[in-house]
C-alpha cells in the first residue's frame, strides 16, 4: 500500500461545488422527511435554513417544517410526529443538544426512528461556538446510534443509511459532523439523486402509530418487574446495527458508485505498529500525515471510527490485531476521568484472547483549536518512537498556563479559570 | 496543491471570495476546498478564509499556514504583520488598493521572493455595482495574477451565487480587474518581486 488511498468520490457522480450544510440538507430532503421541527443554533443553522427553503419552494413535499421555541420543543415535536407515523428529522449543536437531552432518551426508549444531525460544537461554559465533539459524546448513553462523518461526502451518504437503519431497528440515529470544519466548507460533493435515494430508502412504514380512532398508549410506566428486560432488549436492538449498518452501507455504496461506509475503517494498517484512531474530520489531515510518515519509513497507520454507538468492538479488535500501540485522538474528554473513546477501546481489546496493543489518549482540537499537520507530525514521530504519554493534550499552551500562574500557588485558586486565562491572553484589553 | 489565504474585514465578502474561488476551480474540473477561519465575524473585524485547489481529492482541513497566494481585500490590514505569515517563496501577494505603492507590503519583510500585485478592486466594484464590496473584482484579479482559475469560471461562479443584475455587475467588476492586471500598461509589474 504505497499509494495514497482516496476517500472521496472516484467512480460515482463527480459532484459539484456546494457547502457541506447545503449538501446535507439536500440529501435529507431526498430522504423525504414528513416533519422537520427546528430551532437554529450555530453551526447547525444552515442545514435547517436550507430545509426550510426547500419546504417553502415545494421541492420537499409533503413536509411540515415547524419553527419551534426551543430544542426541547424540537425533539418533543419529533417524538409526537414520529409516534403519529411520520418520517421525522431535525438538527442541532452544542447546548441545543443538551437542551434536547430529556427528550432524546424518550425518543430512544419509545423506539422512534428519528434522525438527528449534530453539527458538533464545544459545550460551555466558557461559551465557545467552535468545533469539538463534546456535545454528541455527552449523549453517549441516550440510546441513539451515533455515526461520525469524516468528510462532507460521508456526512451526506450517512443520512439515507441512518434513516433506513433507524426505521429497520426502531432506534433513532444521530449523524455527527464537525461544526464549521465540515458544515461551512465548500467542496466537491456528490449529493445522491432522488431516484437513488428512493431505490435505497423505502417509503416509511411506521411500526407504531398513534391514531385517535384506535386509541392506545405508548411510553406507559414499566416497573421493576420488567424495566431491566426492556433495557436488555434495547441493548440487543442497538447491537443489531453492528451487522445491519455495514450491509446497508454496502448496498448504498453500489447504488452511488462510491466506497462503502464502515463501522470502522483501516488506513495503511499493513505492518503498522503504531495506529492512530479518530472520529470525524481530523481523519483527512491525519491520513495526509500518515502518508508522509510512511514515506519516511515509519510503521504507522490509522483507524477511522465511524460508528461510536453501538461500539464495534469486534471490528476494532480485527483492525488492531497487529498493532503494538494505539493512540486515540479524542475531540472531547471527561474531566477527572480520561478520554471517552479510549476506555471503551481498552475494554474491547482486553476481551480474551486479548489484543496486546497499548492504548494512549491525546485530547486534540478542543473548542475549535485547529489540528495542524505540524502538531500531528510531531505526535506521529513521538508515538512511533514510543514516546507517547498515556494521556496528553495536543498543543497545550504551557506558556499561557505559566503566565496565568499554573504551577504556583494561584494554580488552584477558586473561581473561573477562563477569566484568569483571558486576562493573560489579552492583557491590554482586560487592564 | 495550490493554497490561498484571503484576508479582509467582516462585511467585505472574505468568506464568499474563498468559496467562489473553490466553486470556479471545481467547475474547471479540479478539486477544491474553501472554509472560513470561523472567528466572531463582526463587521469590520479582521477575517480570514482559506481555499485549497488540487487535481486530486483534498483531505487536509487544517487552516492554510503556507499560502501560495495571499489575497488582501483591505489594505489597512497590511499594518498587521500576520497577513503574509508563511507565504511561500515564489508566491503571490495580491492587494486591493487604489495606489500602486507596495511599500506597505515590502515593509512586511517577507522572508522570500514574493510577487506583489496591486489592483483597485474597490474602485472597480464601486463603478460597476455602486457598492464598495471588493471581493468579486478581486476574483478577476486572482485569475489574472495567478491563472489558477480561468476568468470564465470566475464569472460563472459569480453568476451561480448572486441574482441576475447583481451577478452581471460583479462579473463586470471582475473582468475590469482581470483586464487591469493583464493590460500592457501594467505588464511591467507582472513580476514585481520583493527581495530581502
Cα-based distances in Å from B23 to B2, B11, B191:
15, 20, 27
pTM: 0.94
Q: Which of A8, A283, A368 sits opposite B57 (nearest CB)?
A: A8
pLDDT in tens, A159-170: 999 999 999 999
A10 has pLDDT over 80:
no
pLDDT of residue B188: 44
* Under 8 Å between Cβ of B31 and B24: no
- Whether B60 sits inside 8 A of A368 (CB atoms) is no
Pull the grid cell for residue B137: 473584482
Q: Which of B23, B26, B35 sits opposite A181 (nearest CB)?
A: B35
pLDDT of residue A388: 81
Residue A411's contacts (CB-CB under 8 Å, 6 or more residues apart) are A405
Across B56-62, average pLDDT: 96
pLDDT of residue B101: 64
- Whether A6 sits inside 8 A of B56 (CB atoms) is yes
| Chain B residues whose beta carbon lies within 8 Å of the beta carbon of residue A6 | 56-57
Say how far apart CA A78 and CA A278 lie, in whole Å. Answer: 31
- Whether B31 sits inside 8 A of A180 (CB atoms) is no
Collapse the DSSP code of A165 into the 3-class scheme (helix H, G, I; strand E, B; otherwise coil) and give the result: helix
pLDDT of residue A3: 46
- Whether B19 sits inside 8 A of A151 (CB atoms) is no
Whole-complex ipTM: 0.91
A295 has pLDDT over 80:
yes
**In angstroms, how far is the first alpha carbon of chain B from the final one?**
26
pLDDT in tens, B75-107: 989 887 689 999 998 899 999 998 766 666 665
Q: Does A180 touch chain B (CB under 8 A)?
A: yes
| Chain B residues whose beta carbon lies within 8 Å of the beta carbon of residue A129 | 38, 40
- Whether A181 sits inside 8 A of B19 (CB atoms) is no
pLDDT in tens, A180-238: 999 999 999 999 999 999 999 999 999 889 999 999 888 899 999 999 999 999 999 99
Amino acid at each position: 500500500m504505497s499509494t495514497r488511498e482516496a476517500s472521496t468520490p472516484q467512480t460515482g457522480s463527480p459532484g459539484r461545488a456546494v457547502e457541506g450544510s447545503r449538501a446535507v440538507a439536500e440529501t435529507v430532503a431526498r430522504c423525504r422527511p414528513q416533519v422537520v421541527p427546528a430551532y437554529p443554533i450555530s453551526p447547525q443553522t444552515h442545514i435547517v435554513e436550507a430545509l426550510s427553503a426547500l419546504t417553502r419552494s415545494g421541492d420537499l413535499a409533503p413536509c411540515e417544517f415547524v419553527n419551534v421555541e426551543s430544542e426541547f420543543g424540537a425533539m418533543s415535536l419529533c417524538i409526537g410526529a414520529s409516534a403519529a407515523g411520520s418520517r421525522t428529522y431535525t438538527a442541532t449543536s452544542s447546548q441545543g443538544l443538551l437542551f434536547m437531552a430529556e427528550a432524546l432518551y424518550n425518543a430512544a426508549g419509545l423506539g422512534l426512528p428519528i434522525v438527528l444531525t449534530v453539527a458538533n460544537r464545544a459545550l460551555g461554559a466558557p461559551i465557545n461556538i467552535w468545533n469539538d465533539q463534546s456535545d454528541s459524546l455527552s449523549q453517549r448513553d441516550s440510546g441513539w446510534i451515533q455515526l461520525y462523518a469524516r468528510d462532507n461526502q460521508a456526512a451526506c451518504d450517512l443520512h439515507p443509511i441512518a434513516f433506513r437503519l433507524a426505521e429497520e431497528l426502531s432506534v433513532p440515529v444521530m449523524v455527527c459532523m464537525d461544526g464549521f470544519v465540515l458544515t461551512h466548507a465548500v467542496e466537491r460533493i456528490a449529493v445522491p439523486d432522488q431516484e437513488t435515494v428512493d431505490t435505497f430508502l423505502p417509503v416509511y412504514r411506521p411500526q407504531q402509530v398513534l391514531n385517535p380512532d384506535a386509541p392506545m398508549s405508548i411510553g406507559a410506566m414499566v416497573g421493576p418487574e420488567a424495566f431491566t428486560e426492556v433495557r436488555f432488549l434495547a441493548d440487543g436492538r442497538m447491537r443489531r446495527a453492528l451487522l445491519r449498518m455495514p450491509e446497508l452501507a454496502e448496498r448504498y455504496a453500489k447504488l452511488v458508485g462510491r466506497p462503502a461506509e464502515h463501522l470502522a475503517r483501516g488506513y495503511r494498517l499493513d505492518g503498522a505498529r503504531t495506529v492512530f484512531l479518530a472520529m470525524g474530520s481530523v481523519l483527512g489531515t491525519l491520513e495526509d500525515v500518515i502518508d508522509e510518515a510512511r514515506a519516511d519509513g515509519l510503521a504507522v497507520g490509522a483507524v477511522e471510527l465511524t460508528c461510536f454507538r453501538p461500539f464495534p468492538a469486534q471490528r476494532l479488535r480485527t483492525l488492531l490485531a497487529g498493532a503494538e500501540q494505539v493512540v486515540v485522538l479524542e475531540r472531547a474528554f471527561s474531566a477527572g476521568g480520561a478520554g471517552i473513546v479510549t476506555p471503551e477501546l481498552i475494554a474491547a481489546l482486553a476481551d480474551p484472547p486479548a489484543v496486546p496493543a497499548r492504548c494512549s489518549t491525546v485530547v486534540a482540537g478542543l473548542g475549535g483549536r485547529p489540528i495542524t499537520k505540524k502538531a500531528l507530525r510531531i505526535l506521529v514521530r513521538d508515538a512511533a518512537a514510543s514516546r507517547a504519554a498515556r494521556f496528553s493534550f495536543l498543543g497545550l499552551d504551557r506558556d499561557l498556563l505559566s503566565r496565568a500562574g499554573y504551577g504556583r500557588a494561584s494554580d488552584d485558586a477558586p473561581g473561573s479559570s477562563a477569566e484568569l486565562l483571558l486576562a493573560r491572553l489579552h492583557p491590554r484589553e482586560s487592564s | 496543491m495550490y493554497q490561498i489565504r484571503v484576508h479582509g474585514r467582516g462585511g467585505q465578502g472574505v468568506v464568499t471570495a474563498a468559496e467562489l474561488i473553490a466553486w470556479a476551480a471545481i467547475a474547471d474540473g479540479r478539486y477544491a476546498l474553501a472554509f472560513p477561519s470561523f472567528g466572531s465575524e463582526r463587521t469590520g473585524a479582521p477575517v480570514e478564509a482559506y481555499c485549497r485547489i488540487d487535481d486530486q481529492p483534498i483531505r487536509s482541513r487544517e487552516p492554510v499556514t503556507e499560502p501560495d497566494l495571499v489575497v488582501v481585500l483591505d489594505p489597512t490590514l497590511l499594518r498587521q504583520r500576520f497577513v503574509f505569515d508563511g507565504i511561500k517563496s515564489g508566491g503571490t501577494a495580491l492587494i486591493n488598493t487604489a495606489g500602486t505603492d507596495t511599500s506597505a507590503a515590502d515593509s512586511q519583510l517577507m522572508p522570500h521572493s514574493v510577487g506583489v500585485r496591486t489592483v483597485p478592486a474597490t474602485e472597480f466594484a464601486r463603478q460597476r455595482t455602486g457598492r464598495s464590496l471588493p471581493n468579486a473584482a478581486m476574483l478577476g484579479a486572482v485569475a489574472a495574477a495567478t491563472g489558477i482559475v480561468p476568468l470564465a469560471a470566475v464569472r460563472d461562479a459569480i453568476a451561480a451565487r448572486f441574482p441576475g443584475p447583481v451577478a452581471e455587475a460583479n462579473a463586470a467588476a471582475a473582468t475590469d480587474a482581470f483586464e487591469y492586471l493583464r493590460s500592457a500598461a501594467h505588464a511591467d509589474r507582472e513580476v514585481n518581486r520583493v527581495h530581502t
